[in-house]
Amino acid sequence: MTQTLIYALTGSALFMLGVRAALLHQALLPRLLALNVSGAGVFLVFVSLAYRGESMPTDPIPHALVLTGLVVAISATALALALNRRLREMDDE
Amino acid sequence: MIYLSLTLLPDLLLAAMLIGIAWVALSSADLRRGVILFIAFGLLLAIVWARLHAPDLALAEAAIGAGLSGALLLIALRDEAGGNGVAGRVSPGRRWVVDLFALIMTGMIGWALWHAVNADPLDRLATLAYDMLGRSGVSNPVTAVLLNYRGYDTLLELVVVLTAVLGVLVIGSERRGYRRAGPVFCGLVRWLVPLLILGAGYLLWVGAHAPGGAFQAGATLAAAGVVLRLGGHHSAGLPGGYALRAALAAGIGLFLSVGVGTTLNGGRFLQYPEAWSGTLILLIESAATVSIAAALALAYRGGRPDDWMPRKNRGAGREVCR
């Protein structure tokens, strides 16, 4: 399917966009945004490969994997933000 | 093979907008603009999930990826108040290297994906998943995968969420709250929070036979907690002391109990007896909803609550490590 190709290529572009931004920035918050965008790119590749066209039902297993990935990503983001806050507090002391 | 038709126009537009928003969000000098664009990116991604016939993911992305992630990032911007918006960029030389690396890698990954998409289709697990759907206890295939076929992975995912929340609790105490909001926002809270709770209950129930499930419901409940906190409720709807601990551990506790129960009954770990599958899945999902909601609301509070220690030990809660 061409939809699969379009979204898979978009996913790979998003992934490298995030990696590039993570490499170029120094502060944590921009890097966290970049990593989240990379994650979204990976999810996009998964779901685009699970799409099998208008007639066939989609493959549910990549959907479940991406759902798990979404929840894990926000947990990691929350932990990273707490660490960032603590580091800033320590820098101010 | 590639064929271009007008039906592809929405997909091409969505793809271009995704890349565009991501580019601007990641390269903007103002962090607040970057975070808000990231929220918009999440919502656009939810539309893309709907376009790719992934409604469960669309719900979860809108609630978790755009909503709760955005709330967490926005409130974290307060911590950056001392520093500048985006810390200094690197030298132009290193920037060229990184850009070249990114271009080459994009090319290679794109080439690999091209071949993967155009290759001959192989046998997929999807066939097996749909064949066994009648015996799984639910009729939503994604719920069946999450809570029956790969229930063990979901158990470990709940452990990951709890671990992250434990990290947040250990690192510091919670952020200062907000004072009570004005009448307009309080009026909104009075309407919105009950609707969100009702919506969460519905998503939990409907996940068995339609898009929905524990994670979407838990995220909606956590969003209710965020709204409460923004309106001035310091606790974001969470209980204190032992009740909070019970809420955080409920999902994993129930999941493990079901697993041990099935083992003691003669099956394997988490091998539900077929007649009980639907009931057990609903039970586990309910507990998981409570746990995820408590975990995400606690993450929004930002650290150890002031009433974390139960009443008797209240004085002993001072930080002792440095």
Q: In angstroms, what separates the C-alpha of B183 from chain A's closest C-alpha?
A: 31
The residue of chain A with its CA nearest to that of B98 is: A20
Instruction: Specify the residue for token string 């091998």.
Output: B271
pLDDT for residue B314: 53
**Residues of chain B neighbouring A52 (CB-CB closer than 8 A):** 126
Within 84-143 of B, beta carbons closer than 8 Å to A belong to 86-90, 95, 98-99, 101-103, 105-106, 109-110, 113-114, 116-118, 124-126, 129-130, 141-142
**Residues of chain A neighbouring B129 (CB-CB closer than 8 A):** 59-61
In sequence order, what are the residues at sequence separation of 6 or more whose Cβ sits closer than 8 angstroms to the Cβ of residue A74? B64, B65, B68, B69, B72, B296
Q: Is B83's Cβ below 8 Å from some Cβ in A? A: yes
pLDDT for residue B244: 93
Q: What is the pLDDT of residues B36-47, one digit of tens each?
A: 999 999 999 999
pLDDT for residue A78: 96
What is d(CA B102, CA B96) in angstroms, rounded to the nearest whole number?
10
Which of A29, A35, A46 to substitute to test the interface with B, most B CBs within 10 Å? A29
- B214-230 helix and B277-301 helix, angle to the nearest 10 degrees: 30
- A2-24 helix and A28-50 helix, angle to the nearest 10 degrees: 170
Q: Is B29's Cβ below 8 Å from some Cβ in A? A: no
Q: What is the mean pLDDT of residues B199-209?
A: 95
CB atoms within 10 A of CB B210: 14
pLDDT for residue B78: 79
Q: What is the pLDDT of residues B55-77, one digit of tens each?
A: 999 999 999 999 999 999 999 98
Q: If you write DSSP's letter for every residue of A19-34 in order, what string do you get?
A: HHHHHH--SHHHHHHH
Q: What is the pLDDT of residues B287-304, one digit of tens each?
A: 999 999 999 999 999 888
**What's the pLDDT band for B83 if we cut at 50, 70, 90?**
low
B79, B56, B60, B80: which is closest to B68 by C-alpha?
B60
Higher pLDDT among residues A35 and B237, named by residue: A35
**What's the pLDDT band for A50 if we cut at 50, 70, 90?**
very high
B292, B298, B196, B180: which is closest to B230 by C-alpha?
B180
Q: How far is CA B287 from CA A8, B182, B248, B264, B291, in A?
A: 35, 35, 9, 21, 6
Mean pLDDT for all residues in chain B: 89
Whether the pLDDT of residue B280 is over 90: the answer is yes
Task: List the structure tokens of B107.
Answer: 């090319």
Q: What is the pLDDT of residues B5-15, one digit of tens each?
A: 788 899 999 99
Whether the pLDDT of residue A37 is over 90: the answer is yes
Q: Do B73 and A15 touch (CB under 8 A)?
A: no
**Residues of chain A neighbouring B56 (CB-CB closer than 8 A):** 63, 67
pLDDT for residue B49: 96
pLDDT for residue B320: 40
pLDDT over 70 percentage in chain B = 92
**What's the pLDDT band for B84 if we cut at 50, 70, 90?**
low
pLDDT for residue B311: 61
Q: How far is CA A69 from CA A20, A39, B61, B95, B102, in A?
A: 21, 8, 11, 30, 24
Task: List the structure tokens of A15.
Answer: 């992934």
**What's the pLDDT band for B266 if we cut at 50, 70, 90?**
confident
ipTM: 0.96
**Which residue among A6, A61, A82 sits closest to B303, beta carbon to beta carbon?**
A82
What three-state secondary structure class fits B173? strand
Rg (CA), chain A: 17
**Bridge-partner residues for B173, per DSSP?**
B304
Q: Is B45's Cβ below 8 Å from some Cβ in A? A: yes
What is d(CA B56, CA B159) in angstroms, rounded to the nearest whole number?
22
What is d(CA A35, CA B210) in angstroms, rounded to the nearest whole number?
31
